[in-house]
Amino acid sequence: QVQVAESGGGLVQAGESLRLSCTASGSTFDDYAMGWFRQPPGKEREGVSCINWSGTRTSYADTVKGRFTISRDNAKDTLYLDMNSLKPEDTAMYYCAATPSNGLGCPMILEEYDYWGQGTQVTVSS
């Protein structure tokens, strides 16, 4: 089974950018569709973006569309989330997750993902 670990979180000001990374190990990375999720303080975890195994299909939550970009490098076993024009409401713990898949798409539903990282905190100040 795959293990995933996030990095790259931090404290930034509104309007700034941040790149999150998620490194996978223990299994073949391109056997999995990948997703980014976040949990704001006091709220439930929500889907942010996902990408299929080959990187050819992506999906985004409406709240981040046009500002965030998900990508993956299967040669480096790494998933990325480039976050631009950050807003205070983007403040959350960000998690990456993996689900076995060789299909065309990727799910944005938490329950579809089997493997989760510990999360990385993103805080955006106004």
Burial string for 96-105 (b: 16+ CB within 10 Å, else e) reads bbbbbbeeee
Give residue 117's pLDDT band: very low, low, confident or very high (50, 70, 90): very high
Q: Tens digit of pLDDT for each residue in 63-107? A: 999 999 999 999 999 999 999 999 999 999 999 999 998 788 999
Lowest mean pLDDT among 11-15, 76-80, 104-108, 109-113: 104-108
Residue 102: what pLDDT? Answer: 79
Q: Tens digit of pLDDT for each residue in 20-46? A: 999 999 999 999 999 999 999 999 999
Positive or negative: CA dihedral 61, 74, 23, 14: negative
